[in-house]
Amino acid sequence: MNFTGEIKRDLLRSLPEKKCCLLALLCAAADTGGGLFPGGDGFFFTSENERSAEYLLGAAESLGVRMTVAEAVRDPKHGKDKLTFSCRGGRGEELSKEIAALPPSYGLDGCCRRTYLRGAFLCGGSCTLPREGKKTGYHLGIVFRGREEAESFRDLLEEEQVLSGVLMRGDKAVVYIKSREAIADFLAVAGANSALRRLETVAEEREESNNRNRVENCTAGNADRAAIASAAQVVAIEELKKQGRFSALPAPLRETAEARIAHPALSLSELAALLGITKSCLNHRMRKLLGTRGETESYGREE
């Protein structure tokens, strides 16, 4: 099951009992994957998730309305059937008027606004997490039928301390969240606790992976710098030999130079251990070796 499915599974655990919350749920369905018929004689919603559709049908039945399948369309992109359910006339007309009478989503009361939030994700939401080896990040989006509904929902999220944005995609509007922290806040408000734990686990694993990569990159960088330094040291020593000045070096410097030429891949720490001296002493000798090129004076004895 993908992460969107995990969130929806959490949100489908229980149906609201209060009438106001049931209306808020169906209002969310109308604002995302559905709407009210012109003239206010009915209500419809579209869903490609069977469990979400059953959930919404249960909400309508709790309000005394039976909805029927009005259309079934195959979505070739996702390989799923999009089912449109509707009810018209009679109790359907009454329900559409009750939904139309509700305030914008940001103006709903506490319990109703959270029910609306869950309904919006069930009908128009999706969420993706970073995938190993893929250039994907955290992204949660909910598609609304228009900008007005999307901006109202953005204001609702803002009042719940969840930061989001709105963009237009054709004639649809998308409310999006792209930070891991804001998605975690959304899941907490929506009550998707299992999905929230999964998100935290993924975030921890990603942080550990990033830390490993940083260490590996740092190690590789240090190895590259060590290789460059070793090459420079070997070149300096070979130059001293060409100039015929190598034999005039003090014994400790000759010993160090011969060891470096014999072991160019060793780090300074490893070379110091091979010579039985400290890294500080080795650094001192290397500075003397590198400083001898072009000099004519004699070299003092190294302790």
How far apart, in whole angstroms, are the C-alpha atoms of residue 278 and residue 234? Answer: 20
Residue 207 φ then ψ, to 5°: -65, -40
According to the model, what pLDDT value does residue 20 have? Answer: 93
88 conformational bin, left if phi > 0, alpha if psi -120 to 50, beta if neither = beta
Question: Which residues of the chain are modeled with pLDDT < 50?
Answer: 294-303
Query: Amino acid letter at 125?
Result: G
Q: Which domains does the chain have, with CATH numbers?
A: 11-191 (3.10.28.10), 224-291 (no CATH)
Integer angstrom CA distances of residue 200 from 12, 41, 126, 203: 21, 45, 18, 5
Please tell me the predicted confidence (pLDDT) of residue 219.
Answer: 56
Cα Rg of the chain (Å, integer): 35
Q: DSSP secondary-structure letter at 294?
A: T
Q: 175 forms bridges with which residues in the sheet?
A: 142, 166
Tell me the Ramachandran region of residue 90: left when phi exceeds 0, alpha when psi lies from -120 to 50, beta otherwise: left
pLDDT (0 to 100) of residue 135 = 65
Residues 256, 289: contact at Cβ < 8 Å?
yes
Which tens digit of pLDDT belongs to each residue from 87-116? 988 888 999 999 999 998 988 988 899 999
Tens digit of pLDDT for each residue in 239-287?
888 888 888 888 888 888 888 888 888 888 888 888 888 888 888 888 8
| pLDDT recorded at residue 62 | 93
- Cα separations in angstroms, 294 against 162, 258, 286, 301: 68, 20, 16, 19
CA neighbours closer than 13 Å in the CB half-sphere of residue 183: 28
Contact 60/117 with Cβ under 8 angstroms? no
pLDDT at 211: 64
Q: How many CA atoms lie within 13 A of 114 on its CB side?
A: 16
**Res 300: pLDDT:** 34
